[in-house]
Structure 1
Amino acid sequence: MKLAGTIAGILLILLGALWILQGANIVGGSVMSGQSQWLYIGIVVAVIGAALVWFARRRRV
């Protein structure tokens, strides 16, 4: 479960980062480029991914 949670979290962070860059119009070539709602959706997805990685990697006592 630890490895699966870490991998899923990293994928969510990367996907969120892509959506942030598209929403900020840094990455073009998509209908999502320049649409600010994708910036906010990307932030939420990246934060969820970071939380998932944190929960998967924390030590259990």
Structure 2
Amino acid sequence: MPRVLIRVFGVALFLSGLLWTLQGLGLVMWPANSFMLGEKEWAAYGVIAAAAGVLMVWVTRRRNDRP
């Protein structure tokens, strides 16, 4: 059960990071009153969060392959 929770959190973190990256780069201007829009530092935070999410999913998938 914990693996499933880690995977769900990893996917959510990846999607959030993707949104932060796109907002920081100014490609997604939603919501209009967000403080992240066009801020390059949030693009960097988003890349880090997305990478962490992918890593979480990858680690839990690798554990399933082991006996």
TM over 0.5: yes
Runs of 4+ in 1 over 4 A off after TM superposition: none
Identity of aligned residues (%): 36
TM (norm. structure 1) is: 0.92
RMSD of the TM alignment (CA)? 0.9
Question: 1:7 — aligned with what?
Answer: 8
Question: 1:36 — aligned with what?
Answer: 40
Structure 1 spans left out of the alignment, 5+ residues = none
Structure 2 spans left out of the alignment, 5+ residues = none
Question: 1:60 — aligned with what?
Answer: 66
TM (norm. structure 2) is: 0.85
Question: 2:24 — aligned with what?
Answer: 23
Question: 1:49 — aligned with what?
Answer: 53
